Amino acid sequence: MHKFDLINEFKTRDLIAQVTNEEKLIYKINNGNVSLYCGFDVTADSLHIGHILPLLCLKRFQDAGHKPIVLIGGATSLIGDPSFKISERQLNSIELIDAWKESISNQISLFLDFNLNFNSAMIVNNYEWFENLSLLQFLCTIGKHFSVNKMINRDAVKKRIIRTDTGISFTEFSYNLLQAYDFYVLYKKYKVILQIGGSDQWGNITSGINLIRRFYSDETFGLTLPLLTQKNGVKFGKTEKNTIWLDKNKTSSYKFYQYWVNISDFDVCRFLKFFTVLSILEINAIASVNSSLELNKSKLFLAEYLTKMVHGENALKAAKRISSCLFYGDVFSMKESDFFQLEQDGIPSIKISGFLSLKQLLVDSHLASSRTQARHMIESNSVTINSIKQNNEMYVLSNNDVIFNKYTLLSRGKKTFCLIHWI
């Protein structure tokens, strides 16, 4: 991507929520290579899919010749950002956060190039400059530049203050100053002039811009991205039960793939703009076709594109193979590792010792609420064992129904499954 097209490309892809001094930022980008950063607090041992958008935006800047820096919040993770949070986040120890950093750094390398001549990506940790910064030094040099009046009038803070059940601690209240200081340090050390982040970070970003101006009288910039939610209002990357992680040991490649396959029709073109390199013309062409078939093709494209990017070609092949085998009745083509993914988080599973009657197994697996309902299901030809229909209500499972000496796939209808792990 040519640097002259970058901000316009962001706008046509609806990637900009807010931006400071857009004209001057465009001039800076068009007339040189800039350094920019995005911060990630360490709240788990893996990033989740809500982090993909800012990382891909950093990549778009890098592809245009600019230098991306990822700040890992080794220090700020100990505090917790109160921005639009209902209650204070549980704080983790320094040792635990330090242990998580390496796996997160490895995930970041999936998106950014660390081996270029002049604009290689960098990862920095703000614990480096906060570790030996005394409280007195911080208050005297940084704290005096912030007005408490303005800080308590920020929307995120006001919403917490009025809550009598949680309120806001001084620890969280100070987070704004710490993130502002991050921007100041990165400007001072690496001439970083742009910070990007989610739209909930606008107040923190502008605080950093104002702090730098007080010390250097120079202009720096902020650009926020849309804070993604699904059509139902649920925060992007979350399901009713859990988070969709980038680590395949926390979210299997199959479940990761299926998340994208099952996004709503409403989100298809929006996500193609955000997450892929498809041109706007191609995406608009998809949007103009009011066809569920075309939308489903686009969902598959998105699922394949992102699964390959995050988990690799072999994991994508496995996810597609599992999907095909499950929904097109070819269970015997699955590998043992595929069953392991399903047991991990792909479909409901139970462990059972000793063979049971089919009716009892349907009840134990919660595919039927009673043996009577199980009998009706079997008689109506809606039950399969390893993709083979079974209509004998007296059927008792045996070794003939076991795959890889441990698994049996039981289903009700075409889309409701339970994996039996015999022990």
pLDDT digits (tens, 9 = 90+) for 298-356: 999 999 999 999 999 999 999 999 999 998 888 999 999 999 999 999 899 999 999 99
Secondary-structure class of domain 3-225 per CATH: alpha beta
- Identify the pLDDT of residue 87: 47
In the chain, the percentage of residues whose pLDDT exceeds 90 is 68
Q: Find out whether 175 is annotated in a ligand binding site.
A: yes
* pTM over 0.85, yes/no: yes
- Residue 308 falls in the annotated catalytic set: no
Residue 360 assigned ligand-binding role? no
Instruction: Supply the mean pLDDT for the chain.
Output: 89
Measured CA distances, 77 to 205, 238, 316 (Å): 17, 20, 33
Does residue 20 carry a catalytic annotation? Answer: no
Residue from 238, 308, 321, 371 carrying the catalytic annotation: 238
Question: Annotated binding residue at 238?
Answer: yes
pLDDT tens digits, one per residue of 9-36: 999 999 999 999 999 999 999 999 999 9
Q: Annotated catalytic, 321?
A: no
Encode pLDDT of 235-260 as tens digits: 666 555 678 999 999 999 999 999 99
The whole-number pLDDT of residue 147 equals: 74
- The answer to whether 51 is a known catalytic residue is yes
Is 43 considered catalytic here?
yes
Please state which of the ranges 184-198, 227-241, 279-293, 392-406 shows the lowest mean pLDDT. 227-241
CATH of domain 230-333: 1.10.240.10
Among residues 308, 283, 261, the alpha carbon closest in space to that of 111 is found at 308
Please report the pLDDT score of residue 150 as a whole number.
78
351 is catalytic: no
Average of per-residue pLDDT across 141-160: 76
Using CA atoms in the order 423, 241, 110, 184, what is the torsion angle rounded to 10 degrees?
Answer: -140
**Of these residues, 137, 141, 166, 239, which one is catalytic?**
239
Q: Is 90 annotated as a binding residue?
A: no
Q: Which of 13, 48, 67, 101 is catalytic?
A: 48
Spell out the alpha helix ranges (H) of 109-173: 127-130, 135-141, 148-152, 155-161, 170-173
The answer to whether 239 is a known catalytic residue is yes
Q: Which CATH number applies to 347-423: 3.30.565.10, 3.40.50.2000, 3.60.9.10, 3.10.290.10?
A: 3.10.290.10
**68-110 tens-digit pLDDT:** 999 999 888 887 665 544 444 566 788 888 889 889 999 999 9
Instruction: Report domain extents, the chain.
Output: 3-225, 230-333, 347-423
